[in-house]
Structure 1
């Protein structure tokens, strides 16, 4: 189903929000890293392919991208990357106690960056669900 054309205004607002996040003060590599992790968790093949390519274009080595599913058992990620991946998991699954992780985020990111990051995670979850349920199979 061509959901982007069918609900052009509604879906367009989602993509405008995405563009707004990408133009905010938070590092776009961190946003793309979170978006890939969320897409992996949700199983969106199209988005996994898209965000992997995007990270490569941003200069992230393929070897690091390959380690994202096992990031908890890797020493390859810096502190901010690791925190972003943990936050993406926590917000996507809502299975972890959010408060201690939020305190860690506050030590590395501004409140605005945390809001932008969390908005990005929430939005990517919505976009994954639209793509998986209504989009063409990839």
Structure 2
């Protein structure tokens, strides 16, 4: 797979607008673990290798365990995530897949048990923001860096 072009260079104004949303999300008061979860899960759903790679590394850097990071893709089958995280992951999936499934009342009811109206709006804005990044990176085939391959022991 070859990159198509650098979208940030092609339209710096567009990049700055999306980055301004990103800055807002980073500073809006949401818990970092929740931001990591929703970014990683949405990026997995959208098949964005660039963003999955980045968000795994960021979560690891911020001290989250390999197990916590690795099981995001199978969160429904793991007891690792608490009720708030599970509601957030369910909401992330519903909002990310809105064109296919809509946003079910059950997802809304669950997230409302754990987060205030203001938090739900901030979470939904964060989900929308990572979906914009995913669409840019997937559409223009942004390439993640290649780390040194693991050596067999």
- Whether the TM-score (by the shorter chain) exceeds 0.5 is yes
Gap change, CA 1:111 and 1:4, over 3 Å in 2: same
Aligned to 2:36, the other structure's residue is in SS state: helix
Among 3, 6, 9, the alignment partner of 2:10 is 6
What is residue 140 of structure 2 aligned with on the other side?
A: 134
What is residue 112 of structure 2 aligned with on the other side?
A: 106
Single out whichever of 38-47 and 100-109 deviates more from structure 2: 100-109
Q: Which has the higher helix share?
A: 1
Single out whichever of 95-104 and 19-28 deviates more from structure 2: 95-104
Q: How does 1:38-53 map to 2 (within 5 A)?
A: 38-53=42-57
- The question of 1:64 aligning with 2:55 is answered no
Provide Cα deviations, 1:90-125, integer angstroms capped at 9, x if missing partner.
111121543222122122111111111101111111
Among 122, 126, 151, the alignment partner of 1:120 is 126
Considering only CA atoms, is the larger Rg found in Structure 1 or Structure 2?
Answer: 2
Single out whichever of 39-48 and 5-14 deviates more from structure 2: 5-14
Over aligned residue pairs, what C-alpha RMSD do you find?
1.3
Number of matched pairs: 138
The answer to whether the 8 A contact 2:50-2:142 is kept is no
Aligned to 2:54, the other structure's residue is in SS state: helix
What is residue 81 of structure 1 aligned with on the other side?
A: 85
Single out whichever of 3-12 and 39-48 deviates more from structure 2: 3-12
